[in-house]
């Protein structure tokens, strides 16, 4: 059973923040061999979706918006728990958060190219050419605005 928490930056505990930073750096910097500034200013304005299982952070993403659209990123499940459906559960949490707080705004994401098919399962459509983002190929993907059920 996953215990999901959705918090603003100010609501995160120092332990939550440590666990988030640890897993994001492990996933996006070390495992993917991409030296870049992983913690950034977006963290201060994002809604942080954190999944815990038995006290361990097992899934994470952040959701944020501008005036016209909403996006999410830093989507991860820890390597030790991959292949157990956590990605699908995390996407349900992400889209639930978007529908609750950012309904009627279209969704734009910048997906790692090897994750394109994963996002297509949830209705995201690739747009434009592949581009480099911090040393890895990405593609812009879109989805129409979600409406809270």
- Residue 44 forms part of a structural domain: yes
Q: What confidence tier does 67 reach under pLDDT thresholds 50, 70, 90? A: confident
pLDDT digits (tens, 9 = 90+) for 78-117: 999 999 999 999 999 999 999 999 988 999 999 999 999 9
CATH of the domain at 32: 3.40.630.30
* 136 in a structural domain: no
pTM: 0.94
Report if residue 85 sits inside a domain: yes
Residue pLDDT, tens place only, 119-137: 999 999 999 999 999 889 9
Asked if the structure places residue 148 within a domain, the reply is no
Q: Is residue 108 part of a domain?
A: no
Q: How many CA atoms lie within 13 A of 84 on its CB side?
A: 13
- Answer whether residue 66 is part of any domain: yes
Residue 149's pLDDT band, with cuts at 50, 70 and 90, is: low
Q: Structurally, how many domains does the chain consist of?
A: 1
Question: Residue 74 falls within a domain, yes or no?
Answer: yes
Q: Is 91 helix (H, G, I), strand (E, B) or coil?
A: helix
Place of tokens 């949490």: 93
Question: What's phi and psi for 105, nearest 5 deg?
Answer: -110, 130
Summarize pLDDT for 22-43 with one digit per residue, the tens: 999 999 999 999 888 899 999 9
* Mean per-residue pLDDT over the chain, rounded: 94
pLDDT band per the 50, 70, 90 thresholds, residue 68: confident
SS3 content of the chain, % helix, strand, coil (to 5): 35, 35, 30
The verdict on residue 45 lying in a domain is yes
Q: Is 35 helix (H, G, I), strand (E, B) or coil?
A: coil
Give the distance from CA 56 to its chain's centroid: 18
Return d(Cα 75, Cα 80) in angstroms, integer: 15
**Range(s) of the domain holding residue 98:** 3-103
Alpha carbons 5 and 44: distance in angstroms, whole number: 17
């Amino acid at each position: 059973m996953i215990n999901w928490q959705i918090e603003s930056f100010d609501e995160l505990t120092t332990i939550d923040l440590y666990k988030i930073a640890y897993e994001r750096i492990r996933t996006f910097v070390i495992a993917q061999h991409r030296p870049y500034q992983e913690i950034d200013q977006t963290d201060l304005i994002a809604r942080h979706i954190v999944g815990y299982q038995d006290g361990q952070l097992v899934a994470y993403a952040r959701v944020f918006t501008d005036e016209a659209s909403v996006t999410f990123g830093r989507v991860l499940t820890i390597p030790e728990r991959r292949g157990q459906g956590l990605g699908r559960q995390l996407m349900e949490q992400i889209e639930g958060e978007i529908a609750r707080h950012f309904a009627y705004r279209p969704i734009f994401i910048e997906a790692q190219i090897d994750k394109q098919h994963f996002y297509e399962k949830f209705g995201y459509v690739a747009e434009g050419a592949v581009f480099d983002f911090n040393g890895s190929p990405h593609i812009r993907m879109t989805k129409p605005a979600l409406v809270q059920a």
